[in-house]
Amino acid sequence: MKLSLKESKALIGILVVVLIFVLMNTFRAEVKGFFYSFSAPIQKTLWRAGKRSSDFLTGFLNRRYLKERLNELELKNQELIVQIEKLRDLKKENELLRRALNLGLEKEFKLSLAQIIGKDISQDFILIDKGTKEGVLKDMPVITEEKVLVGKIYEVYEDFSKVQLLSHKNSVFDTNLGLAKGQGNFNILLELILREKTVLKGDIVKSSALGGIFPQGLLVGEIQAVKKNDVRPFQQADVKPAFDISKTGKLFIILEF
């Protein structure tokens, strides 16, 4: 079969384009890293501006709700102050007991501070400004200032890393109540909860060290709805993640735990 000049040119053109795409995907990390390196300052500025504008707009639009919420929180705050006092006493007692038993102090995490510079609009991923240069490795846990679990490092570049959020569809991890699975779009489903276990709306979900991915006791979220079925051997529950990416600017990568 002989090809005409026009057909040969088209075929060569297609082959060249395919080759370019294959090459770009082979060196994907380098190509993306190159673009991220000069886009990072612009992204940082845009992220801050977006956060500020969104905070202002949300505050303005929800002023009535915020007033009610303020009253609610003030009441809750008073309750918490009482609880804190009780806990302080317990802490003192605990310290005394520790000293008496000669136990070592709890190991703190080795952390690295990172700034969010972008979010993948189609999937549950975020981009942070720390990479291999700062000792970041794949699968390291990422938390907020309040020790709320956000996700884990998915891809590492020289100066940047991609974080897979807990709510990503491929995210599976153990919690104190059961197995958590990301559902995408900031939703988490809790599975394999024993039927005998009483799980209620508002219960706190914390990470478990069972899978070896995350440290124990980090806050994951709050139970929003429990799905019980007589046919199924286990219960399921919808979890509202405790992290809010739009309200968080800084994150911590746990380098060692």
Q: Which is nearer to another protein, 29 or 87 (CB)?
A: 29
Q: Which x/- pattern over 178-197 shows residues binding another protein (rule: CB under 8 A)?
A: -------x------------
Q: Which is nearer to another protein, 125 or 257 (CB)?
A: 125
Number of residues that bind another protein (CB under 8 A): 34
**CB proximity list for 119: less than 8 A, separation 6 or greater:** 125, 126, 127, 245
DSSP element (H, E) containing 125: strand 125-128
- How many C-alpha atoms does 218 have within 13 Å on its Cβ side? 30
31 forms part of the interface with another protein (CB under 8 A): yes
Q: Which is nearer to another protein, 40 or 179 (CB)?
A: 40
Q: Which of 7, 8, 9, 50 binds another protein (CB under 8 A)?
A: 50
Give min distance, CB of 119 to another protein, in A: 4
Q: Which x/- pattern over 92-121 shows residues binding another protein (rule: CB under 8 A)?
A: -------------------------xxxxx
- Return contacts of 21-24, CB within 8 angstroms, 24+ apart: none
163 forms part of the interface with another protein (CB under 8 A): no
Reading across the β-sheet that carries 187-194, which strands appear in turn?
172-174, 179-184, 187-194, 234-241, 219-227, 204-206
Q: State which of positions 130-159 bind another protein (CB under 8 A).
A: 154-155
Give min distance, CB of 95 to another protein, in A: 43
The closest of 169, 89, 75, 180 to 122, measured between CA atoms, is 169
* Other beta carbons within 10 Å of 132: 14
**CB proximity list for 254: less than 8 A, separation 6 or greater:** 109, 110, 111, 140, 141, 142, 143, 215
60 forms part of the interface with another protein (CB under 8 A): no
Of 32-40, 83-91, 142-150, 235-243: span binding another protein (CB under 8 A): 32-40
Q: Which is nearer to another protein, 185 or 216 (CB)?
A: 185
Distance CA 211, CA 206 (A): 13
Residues that bind another protein (CB under 8 A): 21, 24-25, 28, 31-32, 35, 39, 42-44, 46-47, 49-51, 53-54, 57, 117-123, 125, 127, 154-155, 162, 185, 245-246
